[in-house]
Structure 1
Amino acid sequence: MVNLLKAIADLNEEVIRLAARFDQSSSESLVYSVEQAAEVLGVSRSKMYDLLHRPDFPVVDLGHRRVIPRKQLSAWLDQQCMKKAR
């Protein structure tokens, strides 16, 4: 019985470690989907598609999928703030 409880505790710890690793990897992805970028920016999906058509907005076409690079989105947002400050 003690061995079974220890095995369950060890398994539980491993599940917690794997879940933490999964959370870190998904939060550190290199790109956002259109839906994820809309959520990050706090805009509707239709507004996000409007942004995708702007020539200065960072978007990459990967086959039939459009993704927004995380770092370039941050840089683009910084540029928008700088334009507004002028």
Structure 2
Amino acid sequence: MGKGRFTEAEALPLVLTPMDIAAVLGISRNTAYELIHSEKFPAFRVGKQYRISRERFVAWLNGEAA
């Protein structure tokens, strides 16, 4: 996905990676992982990797329940 910023939720991939989250929020990779490990962040695991659905991420950004 690169280091670009997204201005529209529809421009995000359907399933985001921790690096995508870091790019969208303008935070470091380590901070993104800290966020992912927090209790209320809508991440899930696929094998050993973390993924975040776009829909749930946008809801989380808007302060809606995950």
Q: Into which bin does the TM-score normalised by the smaller protein fall? A: 0.7 to 0.9
Structure scoring higher RCO (CA < 8 A, sep ≥ 6) equals 2
Which structure: greater helix fraction? 1
Paired amino acid for 2:49: R
| Identical pairs, percent | 35
Structure 1: state its 5+ residue gaps: 1-26, 81-86
C-alpha RMSD of matched pairs (Å) = 1.6
Distance change in 2, residues 1:79/1:54 (3 Å): same
Unmatched segments (≥5 aa) in structure 2: 1-10
**1:47 is the counterpart of 2:47:** no
* Greater C-alpha Rg: 1
1:76 aligns with 2:60: yes
Query: CA 1:28 to 1:52, structure 2 compared with 1: closer, same or farther past 3 Å?
Result: closer
TM-score by length of 1: 0.57
TM-score, with normalisation over the residues of structure 2? 0.72
How many residues are paired up? Answer: 54
Segments of 4+ moved more than 2 angstroms: none
